[in-house]
Each structure stands twice: as structure tokens, then as C-alpha cells.
Amino acid sequence: MPWEPGFLFINREMDPSLVIFALAFSSATLALDNGLMRTPPMGWLAWERFRCDIDCRHDPSNCISEWLFRDMADRLAEDGWRELGYVYINIDDCWSSMDRDKEGRLQSDPDRFPSGIPKLARYVHDRGLKLGIYGDLGMHTCGGYPGTTLDTVAIDAQTFADWGVDMLKLDGCYSNSTVQEEGYPLMSKALNATGRPIAYSCSWPAYEGGLPPKVNYTQLGEICNLWRNYDDIQDSWDSVLDIVDWFSTNQDVLQPAAGPGKWNDPDMLIIGNFGLSLEQSRSQMALWAIMAAPLFMSNDLRTLSNEARAILQNKVLIQINQDPLGIQGKRLLQEKSRIEVFWRPLSESASALLFFSRRSDMPYRYKNALSQLGYTDGNYKVYDVFTGKTMPVLTHDMYFSVSINPSGVVMWLLSPIVHRGKAHSTGNPSLLHNHVE
């Protein structure tokens, strides 16, 4: 019977050494104890595509309003997204009124959200989805709307809970390091105190440079479910590359911080917008899957092309991203040929290999062997994630070649063939041989 990707992770006879290997990659820190986001969250987020468009008079289909979020909720529910795991509909900045109400609570803009956030939350929940909202730990949001100051943390957390909100993204504009150091943990406690499970996205590290000693990833893993580490993504390939480079350069710091319930967030998927080619769109999706990144699309689901939809709804790619082991992948190699190799260990002895071209000239034929990538003795089933084809079985020391398009990727899902009741290792970067191509 042909090997199918759906059976890739079914291998119950795991070598005990693989368990040790997996544990070596896990973090010793404790995640936020709300039981949420045990795999990277998936959904849709307004910011990159729709920004702070509040001109509903002249641009009614694109302005930040309850109708935009209802439209996107309908698309997630009706176009096959929800069943794949895309369940969050997330409001970003510019949703609120410029004034709090007489009790000091945040309130939505009455013209653009006339029904109010509670009714929008019910609309979203009725479609089997979850609603996320945006706040800012400062005097104002980045867009100039009322922020959450230290004295309003508790009332804002309770307001969001009363409204039926399922996730909070807390930004850090118009604040400082002292306020953030107190405020981000304070909001975590306040959300837990409401009794409603509300996932918590912290932008804190992005405002402190993303790295120790200013950023304490042990603490972040204890108070937040995910966090923005770096700059906002823009609708351009250069922006994607900048983010990938920063995460790869600092992977030894970032990778151990991630795991079930606590995720590094390289920001939104911009697939289906204006800045990426088809090859670059595949590359972003594959790289985000390798990085165990949250998958929040920021695009217009109403006008999405079939090509973009196919990338974003690739079931095997999503399966890799959602792997329950929750280990963030790494960049293994940067070749002189400008080919880069990324690797991620997965459950049940499986692994993902990504061959990524930084070239801009023509397709490049890249040659290597699994043994040069840290894979141990054995035979491996190989599934090509984008072509959907099962490849010939590879022996660890057998050289292979792949043709990679400019700014494109080839992504493999590998599973060791069980021999005498044991599965072979999926590779260990500490065993990596030097290889310059």
C-alpha cells in the first residue's frame, strides 16, 4: 500500500534514546497555567492587511468594524478553515471608542461596532470560533486609542471576560520598561482571576530587543501563551527574510523557550496579499511551520486566490506546525550556494526537513545526504509536502538531490522505517557534519 502522510506519526515502538533526545530539546520552564494553546494557535488577525482603516463611509468593506469581523468569521466557518484549526478571529488596534464609559471600562466605537463586542463574540462563538481582542499596556494604544494603565489592568481583564473574549493581545506602545515589567505579569494574574480561559499574547519582548538579559524567557513562559519577539511583519519578501534571519541567528536562545502553551511569535502570515510571489508564499508557510509559529493569517479571506488557499490549507504542513511535541525547529546549514537547510523533530520519531533557496537567479539543484544532516543509520520514508508525492525510500548515507526554485522551498516529511522493533533516530544537530556545497 502506498505510504500516506496521515500515517506518518504512527510508530508506537519508539527507541528510548529518542525520548531522551526529545527531552533534551524541551524547556524546563512552566507554561501559563490556563491549559490553552498546547499547540500553536491558528486563526485570522486584522492588522497587517487592514491596519487602522476607520473610514467606513468611503471604504465600508475594509474598515475596522463589526461587519469585517463577521465576514471573516463566516469565511473561517464556511470555507474549510475551522476544521483545519483556524479558529481565532482576532481584532487588533482601533476598535475602541476614544473614551472609557462612566464606570471606567473600555467600550467599542459606537459607529463601527454598534452591536458591541459581546454580541460580536456570540456571533463568532455560534460558528464554532473564538474571538481575540487587542489592548496596550500604556497610556494609549499604538493607534492613539485608550490604553491599559496599571490601575486599569484588573477592570480591563474583567471587561474582556464579561464580553466573552477568548484571547488578548497586549501591545506596549506609550509605556516604558518599568511599566512593562510590572504590567505584563499583572495582566496575566488578572486574566486568570476572571475565571474565564483567555489566551494571553504578550508583545513585551519586542519592546525590549527580544533577547536576554533584558528579556527573561523563563518568566515569559510562566505568564504568557505566546509573545512577539521582533518587529512587525510588512507585506514584503524583505520583511519575511528579516524575521527569518533574526529568529535563525538567535535560535539557540529562542528555541528552548517554546513548547506546548508557550510560543515564540514571528508575526502574521501575509500569504494572499500583495507582496509575496507564489514561491515566497510557500516559503513563509513552510518556515513558520518549522518554527512552530502561531499561524495567524492577515489577508482578505473573501478574495483569496485558489493558490494562496491551497498553501494555507495544506493539511500536512498544518500537521507539522501542530505537532504535539511542540519543539521549535532550527536552521542547520547555510551553504555557500545560498541554500539553507532547516530541521524540526516531530512526534513518533518523525521529522521535517526544509531546503530553502535564498537565490534569485534560477532553480538550483542541491545535493546532500541524510547522514550529513545528523540522521543515524537506517532507511527513511520521504513525503514531499508541496507536491503531495511519496518519494523513494532514502538510506541515511545515500546522496539525494532536490531542485529548489528561487526564493522557494522543498519540504520533506521523514519517518524512519522500523527495523527489528525499533525506529531509527530522526537526527541530532549535535552530530551534524561539516558540509559546504
Annotated active-site positions, please? 171, 232
The three grid cell numbers given for residue 157, joined into one nine-digit string: 481583564
Torsion of CA 90, 318, 240, 237, to 10 degrees: -100
Say how far residue 21 (Cα) sits from the centre of its chain.
24
> How many whole angstroms separate alpha carbon 98 and alpha carbon 106?
9
> How many whole angstroms separate alpha carbon 325 and alpha carbon 346?
6
In 3D space, the residue among 68, 98, 38 whose CA is nearest the CA of residue 258 turns out to be 38
Residue 415 φ/ψ, nearest 5 degrees: -140, 125
Report helix, strand or coil for 87: coil
Q: Give the chain's radius of gyration (CA, Å).
A: 22
**Burial, 124: exposed, middle or buried (Cβ in 10 Å; 0-12, 13-18, 19+)?**
buried
Which residues partner with 400 through β-bridges? 368
> How many whole angstroms separate alpha carbon 119 and alpha carbon 66?
10
Q: Which amino acid, one-letter code, is at 337?
A: S
Q: Where are the beta strands (DSSP E) in 190-254?
A: 199-202, 226-228
Report helix, strand or coil for 132: strand
CB 283 within 8 A of CB 251: no
Which residue in this structure is represented by grid cell 486566490? 305
> How many whole angstroms separate alpha carbon 48 and alpha carbon 52?
9
Q: Which amino acid, one-letter code, is at 228?
A: R
